[in-house]
Amino acid sequence: MNPFKFLIVSLVISIPFISLAKEPSRPNVLFIVLDDVGMTDIGSFGSEIETPNIDIIANEGIKLNHFYTASTCSPTRAMLLTGLDNHIVGLGNMYEELSPNQKGKSGYEGYLTNVSISLPELLKMYGYSTFMTGKWHLGLDENTSPAAQGFDNSYALLNGGGGHFNDLGLFGKPALYRENGKLVSLPKGFYSTKFFTEKLISYLDNENKKEQSSPFFAYLSYSAVHWPLQAPEKSIEKYKGNYSKGYEVLAKQRLRKAIELGVFPKNSQLPELLPKELHWNELDIHQQKVEERKMEIYAAMLDDIDVYLGKLFDYLKSVNQYDNTLIFIMSDNGAEGHDTEYGLAEVKPWIQKCCDNSYKNMGKANSYLLIGPNWARASVGAARLSKGFVHEGGIRAPAIIKLPTLQNKPMFLKNNILSEFVSVKDIMPTLLNIIDIPKPDNHIKSHAVIPMTGRDILSDNNNRPEMGWELMGRKAYRFEQWKIVNAQPPYGKGEWELYNLDKDPLEINDLAEKNSSQLHKMIHRWDAYAKSNGVILPDWVSGY
């Protein structure tokens, strides 16, 4: 029996849940999604950033150190909420990046479609109250908003990102928000992390005050640490001076700590800097000051997430619901490594006109900054590239699961780590097993649905890693230790490359020529994946 199954089955199924005042029939479920947080950004994964509240969850639960997502946000979120490949449920590509030959095609609607039943829809059928706050990115209209996907109450940022103090969007278009399906304006004093957390607490508190309250499913989807880099000055000042030694020193410190914590194996190495990127000692003093400040803001944004999560956990404890709540924390992809030189060049002229990125104004509401590839290299650890790429740095992300406890007895050993391959598609079917809800079959009431393809890692004894990826023409397939990747220059050769991840986790030594037999087996697997999931390769190459 795999270690994850042993721990959960023996301690969850065989032992009743703690008795609560209102005795919900099933445990509560809390999903927390962080945006663009890298593998080593969290304290319990190797970071110097203070995340004590997340670390408590990690120590009480299980860290998933081989958790795989899509290479960008909305495809990952689509898989999380359906247990299906993103190409099947409408997010074959992000709506912002749809190519001409993909538009109007099935699986490329740019929003979460009704070919599946979403997790909130299903849980609602079994008596759950469902709440959502934060980034949605799965549909702009009312009929594709969270309210149309089973959430009783929701306050959602509809776009992929937005200003953290206001509705600043790209190219002069404001970021859009809907509450319970209706377009709304942001309140005064808005700060995304604070607002999304407090709004969710208000939804939960209203439910808790009901005479007959239900178990809840809450989906808290932060827009931090997604660009633009913005945080309150007080939060930023906490990290002033912490990054004066530069991004290369930080990368080494992070990896060393991550190895100590078991996140990466011994003898793990860092990837090289990207071509044309400067070593820290090659930057002038002003460039170093700017880079330091960017990382200080980034750290402040993640620290603030942890602070407000602490307030959420305190609230759950105050109403005697913390112990009976399954908590799952994840990042939606690897760290963001793009900037206005890499992948977002078209944004640069607009930023120069709209915003003030002077040193004194960095992090404020009218600044617009990205963290860039060098700090992202520290975030991803012993992995190649970052968000947007199907190399390991783009698709491997931190994740933590903590199940309900019995009084003060933790269900998992402290610092327990699951090193088995887990896909974001596996979360929904595994959760349903844990809370004793059957998987949906082909029909739910009158709603025809496609059965989930994600595996329940509790009951599936096939622990062989296997998953396919395609986004914006970048392709990959993983089977056991083998992985093929196809990406355009300068990040790839524009043709299939073959890697043995057990021996070469940085994807440096291309074995395509030396092992053509294995290469063709893997290509056959990717072709089958693409056919079964309706993959349409774009007829243009996205700059992102």
Nearest Cα to Cα of residue 497 among 516, 481, 479, 480: 516
CA distances (Å), origin 203, targets 103, 329, 346, 389: 37, 20, 39, 36
Q: Tokens 């002003």 sit at which residue?
A: 286
Asked if residues 176 and 141 have their Cβ atoms less than 8 Å apart, the reply is no
Compute the distance between CA of residue 257 and CA of residue 253 in angstroms, rounded to an integer.
Answer: 6
Asked if residues 492 and 486 have their Cβ atoms less than 8 Å apart, the reply is yes
73 is catalytic: yes
- Determine the 3-state secondary structure of 248 from DSSP: helix
87 is catalytic: no
Residue-wise burial string across 161-176, b where 16 or more C-beta atoms lie within 10 A, e elsewhere:
bbbbbbbbbbeeeebb
Catalytic residue among 87, 137, 164, 391: 137
Nearest Cα to Cα of residue 10 among 329, 330, 413, 407: 413
Structural tokens at position 255: 């990896």
Compute the distance between CA of residue 57 and CA of residue 501 in angstroms, rounded to an integer.
Answer: 29
Helix axes 52-60 and 285-318, enclosed angle (nearest 10): 60
Q: Which residues are catalytic?
A: 73, 137
